Amino acid sequence: MIRTKSIFDFPGIDFSDINFNLEGNETQKSEDCLKNPEVELSEEIKSFRKKNKEFQATNDHETYLIVCFSCKDDKKEFLKNVGLEKSHTLIDGYEMAKNINLKPDRPSFKLSEPLDK
Amino acid sequence: MKQINPEIFDLLKQQQKVTLGFSGGKDSLACAVILKALEINFIPFYFYLCPELFFVEKTLTTYEKLLDIKIIRLPHPMLYDFLRHNDFMPPPMIEYLCSLNLPKLTFENLVDCYIRSTGDNNIYYDIVGMRASESFNRRKFFKKKQNGIDHITKKIFPVFDWNKSDVLQLLKEKNIPLSDDYKIWNRSYDAMKYQFLFGVKKHYPEDYEKIKEYFPLIDLEIFRYDQNKKYF
């Protein structure tokens, strides 16, 4: 499905160094977290605050476009028809979902019928 | 014919003026008919999701003539929400819309702005055509307002204890037809969802193009349904 749900202007969150390949680093991270969740959480908060401060120090705001595609063809079609500017960062929701095994290949429920008689 | 609750009747009779949310649906239409019959001065408001839709205008002008009223057209709070959330907007529009810093508005804000713009600083009771029998949520809502009056929010619900046939009977007796929306959707048009958009595209293609002017990627809403259908 192509749906531009929103363009988020996330002040204070810098996505540039987040690794979206969750099968890799994040799995290891979760295991560490299970061992000592409090330490892990406080480190996360510290790190977030630091990044937030750095971000607030700059006046730049980047625009992020999060789109969920139902297949690769949809993505190609979307990119062909919608010009992304340099300041836009595309976050591919379909790829993200696949990486965390959400099985995005088919919808989980049937939409109700249109109301036309 | 079903009568309105005596407490509501008494309260309405005390009002110098009231406002009415007029969606063009049967329940708000019934409220307008009741207010006319009671000779209560009221300002009906229609809140549009997309400006200047022909089929909406046709409905509104029909009822303006039939009821001898002037319906005030105001933007729906949801229209502001769509624009604030950049719904169905292509990336080039996003930056522009974000720069507008559109506010979050409520029905009350908009009605209040309009009334003040006419030089009137009073706050009036608002008439709402909601009924308890419409759904479980509505029933729950009216459990706390058993007489159909909310003095805190200044709302009166004249048909809160009516059922669908009571409303239809009133309209039939007063010779007020339902709008064309009922022929297409069996209810009044009130959302930017595929459930309505298929009908708009089929029956009012020019209006669909107008919706596209405001929401360039609205086709995706239809696409969403078509894609889902493939799997079931």
Coil, helix or strand at residue B192: coil
A50 in B contact zone (CB under 8 Å): no
Please give the pLDDT value at position A107: 73
Q: Do B217 and A9 touch (CB under 8 A)?
A: no
Distance CA B3, CA B34 (A): 10
Question: Is the pLDDT confidence value at A102 over 90?
Answer: no
Distance CA B35, CA B157 (A): 12
Tell how strand B18-21 and strand A88-92 pair up.
unpaired
DSSP state of B4: P
> Quick count: other Cβ atoms within 10 Å of Cβ B199?
21
A86 in B contact zone (CB under 8 Å): no
Name the residue facing B231 among A65, A88, A107 (closest C-beta). Answer: A107
Mean pLDDT of B28-32: 97
Angle of the B194-203 helix axis to the B205-214 helix axis, nearest 10: 130
In DSSP terms, A91 is beta-bridged to A66
Q: Do A6 and B85 touch (CB under 8 A)?
A: yes
Tell me which of B84, B85, B86, B97 to substitute to probe the interface with A (most A C-beta atoms closer than 10 Å): B86
Tell me which of B94, B180, B186 to substitute to probe the interface with A (most A C-beta atoms closer than 10 Å): B94
Tell me the pLDDT band of A86, cut-offs 50, 70 and 90: low
Residue B57 · residue B24 · CB < 8 Å:
no
Per the model's pLDDT, the better-predicted residue between B172 and A102 turns out to be B172
> What ipTM does this complex have?
0.77
Q: What is the pTM of this model?
A: 0.72
Q: Which pLDDT tens digit goes with each residue over A59-77?
A: 555 566 777 776 777 777 7
Residues in chain B within 8 Å Cβ distance of A113: 195
Residue A114 · residue B199 · CB < 8 Å:
yes
Rounded to a whole number of angstroms, the distance from the CA of A114 to the nearest CA of chain B is: 4
Domains of chain B, residue spans: 6-191
Q: Which pLDDT tens digit goes with each residue over A14-47?
A: 334 333 333 333 334 444 444 554 554 566 666 6
Rounded to a whole number of angstroms, the distance from the CA of B159 to the nearest CA of chain A is: 25
Give chain B's radius of gyration (CA, Å).
Answer: 19
> Quick count: other Cβ atoms within 10 Å of Cβ B179?
22
The superfamily in CATH containing domain B6-191 is HUPs (3.40.50.620)
Tell how strand B42-48 and strand B155-156 pair up.
unpaired
A85 in B contact zone (CB under 8 Å): yes
A63 in B contact zone (CB under 8 Å): yes
Mean pLDDT of B37-53: 95
